[in-house]
Amino acid sequence: MFNYLRKRFTSHIRERSRRRARLVSKDGRCNIEFGNVEQSRFVFLIDIWTTILDLRWRYKMTIFISAFLGSWFLFGLLWYVVAYIHKDLPEFNPSINHTPCVENINGLTSAFLFSLETQVTIGYGFRCVTEQCATAIFLLIFQSILGVIINSFMCGAILAKISRSKNRAKTITFSKNAVISKRGGKLCLLIRVANLRKSLLIGSHIYGKLLKTTITPEGETIILDQVNIEFVVDAGNENLFFISPLTIYHIIDKNSPFFHMAAETILQQDFELVVFLDGTVEATSATCQVRTSYIPEEVLWGYRFAPIVSKTKEGKYRVDFQNFSKTVAVDTPHCAFCLCNEKEAKAKEKKGYDNPGFVLSEVSETSDTKM
């Protein structure tokens, strides 16, 4: 039992040591931290709209509730101060002929209720401003204008947060693994992507970036060096008809960074493949971006994706998402370089080659045979 637990613990530690740092998580979130930023954090207040939109829901709702409660309470204090200065409160024993600035304000609680009724335009009719003092009229106008601004900003921020295209991107999913196999006689890296909604993404475009650490000839080490990865679809990589799952692929040729990798060495490589899908949401005309990443352990060499689309007897097309990330082993060359050499060897077999050093000499035959 002790040996078993020790093996499990050792394998767990070894697995954790093999884990690679990811810049982009599988759901598209960026794993990056900014340190020693010289600029003040108050610069984020300059673009307060974007700052509010980027906040998480718990912080946004805290600001939403605090903005309304704070403004109601602040103006409630101001209304109480107006009533106190004008001596409208019962503690001053106003005369019967005394006309208050605000009717029926008897304390801080009633002042808070009047502030609430004014800003949200409820107007129960029990408490109201009179024409006795200009201060109360000015305060009423100021609170009404400020209340409209707060309502517009906070309600607009909530609506914009709900309707952000980032939520639409959650209905676009990529396969768990990428595979490498032959497609059309070429060695390709394939990824499957699906749209979980029936509404389309207009003008969709798919591309990728390979992130790796490189050393320049001058000896400079560049971390997260980016290399463009071109992905294509049989129908083209522009304006995709994205109604059913698509299999995108990258051709591993001599210009590909995967050309010098092999099935035996790919797990020893240090890279991260980030895949992007840009498009416009059909319902809102807002642009959105979906991204995911693959590390070497998630790239399966010698596999292809299982079929996912079928046709029913009723003539409908059915997509079985149970096979979305399912892979099937196939015969695949263990490197792209070997596949190129194999093609060149077969091409040479079909051709004839002349030997320039070969000289044909004619020999005259003489018969020395005597009868």
Same domain membership, residue 227 and residue 114: no
What pLDDT score does 136 carry?
A: 92
What pLDDT score does 147 carry?
A: 93
| pTM assigned to the model | 0.68
50 in any annotated domain = no
The residues that bridge with 227 in the sheet, in sequence order, are 210
Same domain membership, residue 153 and residue 199: no
Q: What's the mean per-residue pLDDT of the chain?
A: 81
Q: Which helix (H) or strand (E) holds 278?
A: strand 271-281
Distance separating alpha carbons of residues 175 and 241, to the nearest angstrom: 18
SS (H, E, C) 85-146: HCCCCHHHCCCCCCCCCECCCCCHHHHHHHHHHHHCCCCCCCCCECCCCHHHHHHHHHHHHH
What pLDDT score does 282 carry?
A: 78
Same domain membership, residue 251 and residue 133: no
Same domain membership, residue 148 and residue 208: no
How much is the CA Rg of the chain, to the nearest whole Å?
37
What pLDDT score does 240 carry?
A: 72
Same domain membership, residue 232 and residue 99: no
Q: Which of 108, 143, 163 is the last residue of a domain?
A: 163
86 in any annotated domain = yes
pLDDT at 18 over 50: no
Nearest 5°: phi and psi at 135? -60, -40
333 in any annotated domain = yes
Same domain membership, residue 336 and residue 191: yes
The token duo for 215 is 């050393």
Name, of 28-32, 175-179, 357-361, the range with top average pLDDT.
175-179
pLDDT in tens, 103-149: 889 999 999 999 999 999 888 888 889 888 899 999 999 999 999 99
The token duo for 241 is 């008809």
Distance separating alpha carbons of residues 98 and 246, to the nearest angstrom: 80
What pLDDT score does 74 carry?
A: 96
- pLDDT > 70 in the chain, percent: 81
Domain hosting 62: range is 55-163
Same domain membership, residue 176 and residue 156: no
For residue 255, give the nearest of 185, 336, 192 by alpha carbon: 336
